[in-house]
Amino acid sequence: MTCTLGEVKNRADFIVYWGGNPAECHPRHFTKYALMPKSQFLPRGRKDRTMVLVDIRETKSVKASDVFLQVRPGKDFELITVLRAMIKDQPISEAQIAETGLSVEQLQDFVARMKAARFGVFFFGMGLSMTRGKHMNSAALLTLAAEMNAFTKFVAMPMRGHGNVTGADVIMRWQTGYPFGISFNRGYPRYNPGEFSTVDVLVRGDTDCAFIIGADPGATMPKPAIEHLKRVPTIVLDPHVTHTSKMARVHITTAPAGISAPGTAYRMDEIPLPLRPALESPYPSDEEVVRRIKETILKKPDWMGERPQMLTTQV
């Protein structure tokens, strides 16, 4: 259940940032979309909106918020589940709520504000999705947003990181039906995060080659994954020298997308934005390199042999 930032800008009168620090990480988010803009439905701009910040520590975003809820680290999932119970008027004891680091009054006030809103948004960041519980923390917030629709309009949207990460998800989704964690080894896409997601595959050492386009796993992934990248032939396409390209067998320098290479970037609300190159580059674009690699591969004999054999029951 999501929407575009245009809808947030024009309609959202209740904004929750959960596990993120937009003041420093998405500095234009407040002024362009979430807090400041005035619209037909919110004529007084910031004064018509309520902003709640949920985080484990006080960040610079606290100053911009109306309510700050400091949750105990690692208790986001518990807090969201308590909120799910509270919006349905289920009895929860004070001692149980105290476990999350917040008081009953704070949560009752939060629930009352959520229910009174005309259009609520949850923006969630890495503080939620990358801490213990991972995908289930995000799932919890998405479920809460879905359940809030019994009372009022509510949506949830992840605060995406730098680079065109949304674009990768969107393209994979319309091409294959799944956003990430896909295997093509049987000739058709199969989705299973945990089994086919990059980091898990690399940590287990289940590949004998790696092809990395415009990403730097060498700087972000756990040590066993990096060790495996060093072991197998790794090919990197990147405009810059990165941690990954330093350990790669092959590094092909490409033109920086959006600056010297044209393309489409996706905004965090999945709106495609065409980019025109501003500068010339002596290097080929990522697309051209991948296309030429593909042309060469097509000259090889078909590896599939007989037609793809499905697993007896689809996974």
Query: Where would I find the beta strands (DSSP E) of the chain?
Result: 14-18, 50-55, 67-70, 119-124, 153-158, 182-183, 190-191, 210-213, 234-238, 250-253, 263-266, 272-275
Residues 14, 280 contacting (CB under 8 angstroms): no
Query: Measured between alpha carbons, how far is 81 from 92 in angstroms, rounded to an integer?
Result: 11
Residue of 68, 191, 211, 283 interacting with other proteins (CB under 8 A): 191
**Closest to other proteins by CB, 8 or 142:** 142
Site string for other proteins, 171-190 (x = CB under 8 A): -------------xxxx---
Which residue in 66, 206, 219, 240 binds other proteins (CB under 8 A)? 206
Q: Is 99 in the site for other proteins (CB under 8 A)?
A: yes
Would you list the DSSP string of 193-213?
TTTTSHHHHHHHT--S-EEEE
Examine residue 311 and tell whether it contacts other proteins (CB under 8 A): yes
Query: Between residue 108 and residue 167, which ones bind other proteins under the rule CB under 8 A?
Result: 132-133, 136
Cα separation of 121 and 111, whole Å? 14
97 binds other proteins (CB under 8 A): yes
**Tokens of residue 47, six digits:** 């004064």
> Does 78 engage in binding with other proteins (CB under 8 A)?
yes
Q: Is 302 in the site for other proteins (CB under 8 A)?
A: no
* 3-class secondary-structure state, position 254: coil
Nearer to other proteins, 187 or 263 (CB): 187
Q: Is 303 in the site for other proteins (CB under 8 A)?
A: yes
Judged by CB under 8 A, how many residues of this single chain contact other proteins?
41
State the Rg of the chain over Cα.
Answer: 23
296 in contact with other proteins (CB under 8 A): no
- Interface residues with other proteins (CB under 8 A) are 77-78, 80-85, 88, 90-93, 96-97, 99-100, 132-133, 136, 184-187, 191-195, 206-208, 303-306, 309, 311-313, 315
